[in-house]
A and B are shown apart, each in its own frame.
Chain A
Amino acid sequence: MENEALSNSDRRDFLVKLTSVVGGAGVAATCVPFVASMNPSSDVLAKAETEVDLTGIPPGGLRTVAWQGKPVFILRRTPDEIKEAQASNGGSDPEPDSQRVKNPEWLVVIGVCTHMGCVPNKEGAGWTCHCHGSQYDDSGRVTRGPAPKNLEVPPYHFVSENKIVIGKVA
């Protein structure tokens, strides 16, 4: 009886496979905390919201604020700039201006080039990224590559006429 069990190679193969699978699963599960430890920590996540007072930005003026460590452009657009932004749908990533603003006077976009993450500079109408030459219009829409997408609009809402909170929709 004992001999039979020992010489049963099917049983042995099964046990080898089973222990390999269990061992492999254990190794994979052990990797989880190590990989997760590299994700943003709680204190980093706590910086998720920023309140901005808009008073003091003149028409046509730009203010750059930090949100989650990233620059956010707040542009107070003049009527001419609004008209021009509404006249087109942008370039390679078409999107109407009305979908990119909550109030046409205020454009709020993340100032991080969608190509490689540089901060574009305000140059005349729109922005130019000096890293790889991408250009954006006054609605933050890409008008010249290599950037694939428009400047991202962060989640934000107006808490009063002159105050916004970035990081939360309402």
Chain B
Amino acid sequence: MKTKIINWIDQRFPLTSFVEHDLTGYPTPRNLSYWWNFGFLAGFVLVLQVVTGIFLAMHYKADVSLSFDSIQHIMRDVNYGWLLRYMHAMGASAFFFVIFVHMARTLYYGSYRAPRELLWWTGQGLLLLLMATAFMGYLLPWGQMSFWGATVITNLFRATPFFGDQVVIWLRGDFTVGDATLSRFFSLHYLFPFLIIGAVVVHLVALHTVKSSNPSGIDLADHDNIPFHPYFTIKDLYGLGLFLMLYSVFVFFIPDSLIEPANNIPANPMMTPNHIVPEWYFLPFYAILRSVPNMVGGVVAMGLSVIIFAFMPYLDRSRIPGGARHRPIYRVQFYLFMIDMLVLGFVGYYPPTDQSILIGQVATLCYFGSFFIVPFLSKVEERWLIKRGLPPEVMALIESEKHEISKKGGKL
């Protein structure tokens, strides 16, 4: 009976072939480490956010006179409302954490290199969508941080040439962030996750065309790829278990740890809190905004700091496989860049003083500087590594894979 039904469907829709081609049988490099778990985790958190969000929307009211209280209503009166809200609020942080690790892995192993540029760029688009969604969601509780965060960020559009002021008023639907802003942010906060789902499909189609990269940085021959199921379903589920433990610690034991206390005060358009900070995942970019003394320059620098990653496939001119794994100079650069990100994060958190501004400016220069030296450094490093010779096991791997692939008429 079952085969009969499946046969009936298969004649009308490519069910079995799709499942075999893209799910169970999808060829996956056998040497993937746990750093390759984070794409799956991002997908999981996306589902988590959509589900908790839809249930929260059943109780939330997008109206300046009601929204702050409706959050309290969710926290106190709605059955398990506290859980839904904490899962959603912590889920946003978890999403960024997972995405940042996913991006760091791509940078470390050079997974952005040909032929995976489009995969990297669709990922960049997803990051921008995620940032927009998180930013709009943060206004909804209508606390002081919500209000002033939205005020500052919508003000960034004043940097638009010619119509800056009009663009800001248009975005807000009012002269200040107000009821019109809140209701449109709610509408768009509900819409954007579905755009993200659409973009994820594009991301996955690109992935399944070029296949996963792997720690060796070499495209593997068929015999070194194994079916996704059961090998990577089980590996992803194990990673998911670890992730859920960490996530649960935050949701159940320290749910307020990442929520600014000032956001428990209802929004007051007449008074800015003394110390406004964005959510932790925006801190490095916020620090860059503050480091540039000129307003338009700051906005441009902040925008560039997010999209500059897209240039990596062209900035990195080295052909040495495996990213930082086989490239000592790039590896040092990678870790220095991570440290620089942390420094920027701290600078973004602290109120502006002469000292913190100076540290922020130096860190901003290092941030952009590390992208600008990649083209030169990667070439110098490549020459040096070729002269020195790659480690024998890498050469052996390249040779054997090349042999296997050329036997099948492919190319390396």
Contacts and interface: CB of A to CB of B under 8 A. Distances in A.
B298 A146 contact: yes
A116 interface: yes
A145 B174 CA distance: 27
B184 interface: yes
A130 B152 contact: no
B292 A68 contact: no
A53 B294 CA distance: 37
Interface stretch (B1-9, B200-208, B252-260, B266-274): B266-274
A39 B173 contact: yes
B171 A68 contact: no
B295 A40 contact: no
Interface string A63-80: 010101111000000000
B276 A145 contact: no
Contact of B175 (A70, A118, A129): A70
B151 A116 contact: yes
A146 B275 contact: no
A155 interface: no
Contacts of A132: 290, 352
B178 A69 contact: yes
Nearest to B172: A40
A112 to B, nearest CB: 8
Nearest to A67: B175
A69 B352 contact: no
A149 B176 CA distance: 19
A168 to B, nearest CB: 15
A117 B155 contact: yes
Interface in A106-149: 114-121, 129-133, 145-148
B174 A40 contact: yes
Query: Which of A41, A117, A120 is packed against the most chain B CB atoms within 10 Å?
Result: A117
Contacts of B273: 130
A40 B290 contact: no
B293 interface: yes
Contact of B293 (A121, A129, A131, A145): A145
Nearest to A39: B170
B83 interface: no
Contacts of B405: none
Contacts of A41: 173, 180
A71 B269 contact: yes
A120 B270 CA distance: 10
B151 A117 contact: yes
Nearest to A132: B290
Contacts of B129: none
Contacts of B178: 44, 69
B175 A146 contact: no
Contacts of A44: 173-175, 178, 180
B156 interface: yes
B169 interface: yes
A118 B298 contact: no
A116 B156 CA distance: 7
B270 A148 contact: no
Given A40-B180, A146-B298, A133 B274 contact: no
B269 A66 contact: yes
B173 A118 contact: no
A87 interface: no
Contacts of B174: 40, 44, 69
A38 interface: yes
A66 B295 CA distance: 26
A69 B367 CA distance: 39
Contacts of B152: 116-118, 131
B60 interface: no
Interface string B176-194: 1010100010000000000
A38 B176 contact: no
A38 B276 CA distance: 27
A41 B292 CA distance: 35
A112 B180 CA distance: 20
Given A146-B294, A148-B295, A121 B175 contact: no
A131 B274 CA distance: 7
B276 A68 contact: no
A18 to B, nearest CB: 32
A50 to B, nearest CB: 12
A114 B294 CA distance: 11
A68 B184 contact: no
A133 B295 CA distance: 13
Given A71-B270, A148-B295, 20 more contacts: A38-B170, A38-B173, A38-B184, A39-B173, A40-B169, A40-B173, A64-B270, A68-B176, A69-B174, A69-B269, A71-B269, A117-B155, A119-B271, A129-B272, A130-B273, A131-B152, A133-B353, A145-B293, A146-B294, A147-B295
12 contacts: A44-B175, A66-B270, A68-B175, A69-B174, A115-B155, A116-B155, A117-B152, A118-B276, A119-B271, A133-B353, A147-B295, A148-B294
